[in-house]
Amino acid sequence: MDLIALENFLDNSSFLILFLTMLIYWGGAAFPRLTWLPTLGTTGVAIANLCMATLLGARWLEGGYFPLSNLYESLFFLAWGITAIHLVAEQMSRSALVGVVTTPVAMGITAFAALTLPPDMQTSAPLVPALKSNWLMMHVSVMMLSYATLMVGSVLAIAFLVVTRNQEIELKGSSVGTGGYRDKLGRELLSNIDQQPTMNFAQNNGSGVTAVLETVAVSSQKVILSPQRLSLADTLDNISYRIIGLGFPLLTIGIIAGAVWANEAWGSYWSWDPKETWALITWLVFAAYLHARITKGWQGRKPALLAASGFVVVWVCYLGVNLLGKGLHSYGWFF
Q: Are 293 and 153 in contact (CB under 8 A)?
A: no
Task: Identify the CA nearest to 286 among candidates 261, 260, 312.
Answer: 312
What distance in Å separates the CA atoms of residue 56 and residue 10, rounded to the nearest whole number? 10
**Does residue 75 share a domain with residue 127?**
yes
pLDDT winner (highest mean) among 109-113, 118-122, 131-135: 109-113
Residues 29-40 pLDDT 10s: 888 888 888 889
What distance in Å separates the CA atoms of residue 68 and residue 60, rounded to the nearest whole number? 9
pLDDT of residue 242 exceeding 80? yes
Examine residue 335 and state whether it is found in any structural domain, yes or no: no
3-state secondary structure 85-109: HHHHHHHHHCCCHHHHHHHHHHHHH
Amino acid at 173: G
**Does residue 234 share a domain with residue 193?**
no
pLDDT of residue 81 exceeding 70? yes
The predicted model gives 302-330 an average pLDDT of 80
The pLDDT score that the predictor gives to residue 297 is 77
Query: Largest alpha-carbon pair distance within the chain?
Result: 101
Q: How far separated are the first and last CA of the chain, in Å rounded?
A: 32
What distance in Å separates the CA atoms of residue 325 and residue 302, rounded to the nearest whole number? 35
Domain tally, the chain = 2
pTM for the structure as a whole: 0.81
The pLDDT score that the predictor gives to residue 244 is 95
**Does residue 161 share a domain with residue 110?**
yes
Residues 271-300 pLDDT 10s: 788 888 889 999 999 999 999 888 877 777
The pLDDT score that the predictor gives to residue 184 is 47
Query: Containing domain of residue 19, as a range?
Result: 3-166+230-324
**Does residue 315 share a domain with residue 251?**
yes
**Does residue 40 share a domain with residue 113?**
yes
**Does residue 236 share a domain with residue 153?**
yes
What distance in Å separates the CA atoms of residue 104 and residue 158, rounded to the nearest whole number? 13
pLDDT of residue 182 exceeding 70? no
**Does residue 210 share a domain with residue 143?**
no
